[in-house]
Structure 1
Amino acid sequence: MASEELTVVSFNVNGIRAARRRGFDTWLADRAPDVVGLQELRCPPEEIGEFPGYTVSFDTGTIPGRNGVAIATRQPPASVRSWATDPPRARGLSAHASHGRYLEVDLADEPITVACLYLPKGGLPAELQRPGNIREKPDGGAKYRRKMAFLAGFARELERNRLAARRAGREFLLIGDLNIAHCEHDVTNWRAARKMEGFLPEEREWLDRQLSPRRLIDVVRTLYGDRPGPLTWWSWAGQSFVKDVGWRIDHQLASPGLASRARWVTVDKEPSPDERLSDHAPLVVGYRRRA
């Protein structure tokens, strides 16, 4: 007998092979979600490995050791679409079509389209790049411009895909690492983060525009409430993980009908640094199944 809940996970594994060495398979067997979206597979198709009890749809992209998305489902999906087979039509995304950043599946057991996204990390605009304040070599704002162009194109693509799901009688759920923290509760040290990539005003405003009661709803914030957290990413460096100094850049954004069925949210943060599967932790949401 099917469960009355649909459990959906979004998890940036930061390399599926490395995550497996750290215990990913044990976590998956214990958690046993219905749907799990993965980002940053960072491997060729033949090295993704087995997911017992699941059908895995994926797009690893063409850049060795980079990107890659997958969606594992308990039942074979009714349909699968990736940018590799169904190139994005929105202007500004064609350069990313072969990079393994976006995947959609239509669930077979629920009228839901689940989309998995790994959004570019980006960088700082040139005027914020100062010697000593960035880890990477200054690039004159090239990565920042690339990310902003992606965001402009993806907003159009997202709207098109959301409406296509609605016309097909399906709810729509976007999960993934968006590399944007939306509000002050999503970053531990939010004041300092205002001049960091991922929390720039223009990035947060972009996410604002994707959310509305009639379009997409941030179910994690709705369920968790107006308080700090939940965090999903902590730097490997220093004591960030132990001190719980991190960001929420992983999201589940649902169409209104599905959002109304969201019941609980949790983050599977490991007990200690030695047990970490990734620099991210799985973001888990439970939805009531359609009656």
Structure 2
Amino acid sequence: MRIATFNVNGIRAAQRRGFEAWLAERAPDVVALQEVRCPAEALPSGVFRDYHLAYEPGHLAGRNGVAVLTRTRPTAVRTWDGEVLMRAPGEEHLHTEPAPAGTMARGLSPFASEGRYIEVDLADSALTVASLYLPKGGLPAHLQKPGGREVPDGGAKYDRKMGFLASFARQLDRSRKAAKAAGREFLLLGDLNVAHTRQDLTNWRTSNKAEGFLPEEREWIGSIISPRTLVDVVRSVHPDADGPYSWWSWMGGAFDRDTGWRIDYHLATPGLAKRAVTAGTDRPASGPERVSDHAAVVVDYAWAP
């Protein structure tokens, strides 16, 4: 079974840059998407080819939006605000369908309508797959300086992200245990906006005070993975490699120099993780071939539908 996660940075722009060709060539069985950034009525026709779509667009115009593409319609779909767009191949309907919201962990309600999380139970496999777009965040107040890349906000974005991390850890534990109780493996896919170790970004020496590599963010990643709960699949396959990176800035020639970050993950329960055969990043051969500022992270699992 081939499973991919891809932050497309806007599905309409990604379509113009070759998303459909990537989807046809790589032919994943499951694809988690982040930053779809498109209202339901504006989704490009045919962009998802012969896949079933489960899409949580959220209510922030032009931002966020998460989806899961599957070969067959999922048996269940869960989001945080209780609505989801379901489409079979060839359908063009616009309405959302009720989706069981379940019990939301304390602290997540401010994020519920932002289009950040969706999970599906596959119909043809004992597997629950989730797609997450985690807030980018910012710097704590004491690290902010006037004249930097962003206007100082007193640490508001940092505080919001840290609140999300604490709450989502509880939610993640619930989802993982619920899947186990149902006899399913669990796989969290997505853009976590955190590089875990020095191997996960190029300029780690100068990034210790940058959002996405703050010690407390890295500690959080460490707290949600372990050999008995969730395994970082790509790192387990490539334990000694730098990268493989999944995000590069559009600016400054970062892609050409491979000055990147590994912030897109497959976090799998151990029963699925041990079945990973190959894992890596679909890094394009050249800058003009990029579909997004992220690249898809693709894992082949010895796991038959």
TM superposition score category, shorter chain reference: over 0.9
Q: TM-score, normalised by structure 2?
A: 0.92
Following TM superposition, by how much is the alpha carbon of 1:87 offset from its aligned partner in structure 2, in angstroms? 6.0
Residue 225 of structure 2 aligns with an amino acid whose one-letter code is L
1:55 matched to 2:70? The reply is no
1:93 matched to 2:108? The reply is yes
> Which whole-Å CA distance do the structure 1 matches of 2:213 and 2:238 have between them?
20
> Which whole-Å CA distance do the structure 1 matches of 2:30 and 2:124 have between them?
11
Q: Which of 11, 19, 25 is the aligned partner of 2:20? A: 25
SS of residue in 2 equivalent to 1:104:
strand
> Which whole-Å CA distance do the structure 1 matches of 2:102 and 2:55 have between them?
15
Mark the runs of 5 or more structure 2 residues left unpaired by the alignment: 83-100
Q: C-alpha offsets along residues 149-171 of structure 1, whole Å, 9 cap, x if unaligned? A: 00000000000010000000000
Following TM superposition, by how much is the alpha carbon of 1:270 offset from its aligned partner in structure 2, in angstroms? 1.1
Q: Which of 254, 263, 269 is the aligned partner of 1:249? A: 263
Q: C-alpha offsets along residues 52-87 of structure 1, whole Å, 9 cap, x if unaligned? A: 211010100001000000000011111111112116
Answer whether contact 1:41 1:48 (CA < 8 A) is retained: no
Q: TM-score, normalised by structure 1?
A: 0.96
Residue 220 of structure 1 aligns with an amino acid whose one-letter code is V
> Which whole-Å CA distance do the structure 1 matches of 2:30 and 2:242 have between them?
27
Following TM superposition, by how much is the alpha carbon of 1:92 offset from its aligned partner in structure 2, in angstroms? 1.0
Q: Could you tell me which residue of structure 2 aligns to residue 232 of structure 1?
A: 246
1:39 matched to 2:27? The reply is no
Judging changes above 3 Å, is the alpha-carbon distance between structure 1 residues 275 and 290 closer, same or farther for their aligned structure 2 residues?
A: closer
What is the correspondence of 1:131-146 to structure 2 with a 5 Å cutoff?
Answer: 131-132=146-147, 134-146=148-160
What is the correspondence of 1:135-214 to structure 2 with a 5 Å cutoff?
Answer: 135-214=149-228
SS of residue in 2 equivalent to 1:123:
coil
Q: Could you tell me which residue of structure 1 aligns to residue 67 of structure 2?
A: 70
> Which whole-Å CA distance do the structure 1 matches of 2:75 and 2:142 have between them?
48
Answer whether contact 2:4 2:32 (CA < 8 A) is retained: yes
After TM superposition, what 4+ stretches of structure 1 lie above 6 angstroms from structure 2?
none
Q: C-alpha offsets along residues 8-30 of structure 1, whole Å, 9 cap, x if unaligned? A: 10000000000001111111111
> Which whole-Å CA distance do the structure 1 matches of 2:136 and 2:203 have between them?
19
Q: Which of 121, 127, 136 is the aligned partner of 1:112? A: 127
Q: Which moved more, 1:221-230 or 1:96-105?
A: 221-230
Answer whether contact 2:20 2:49 (CA < 8 A) is retained: no
Q: Which of 11, 19, 27 is the aligned partner of 1:16? A: 11
Number of residue-to-residue matches in the alignment: 285
SS of residue in 1 equivalent to 2:250:
coil
> Which whole-Å CA distance do the structure 2 matches of 1:262 and 1:47 have between them?
36
Mark the runs of 5 or more structure 1 residues left unpaired by the alignment: 1-5
SS of residue in 2 equivalent to 1:238:
coil
Residue 70 of structure 2 aligns with an amino acid whose one-letter code is T
SS of residue in 2 equivalent to 1:277:
coil
What is the alpha-carbon root mean square deviation over aligned residues? Answer: 1.1
Following TM superposition, by how much is the alpha carbon of 1:43 offset from its aligned partner in structure 2, in angstroms? 0.8
SS of residue in 2 equivalent to 1:158:
helix
Residue 196 of structure 1 aligns with an amino acid whose one-letter code is A
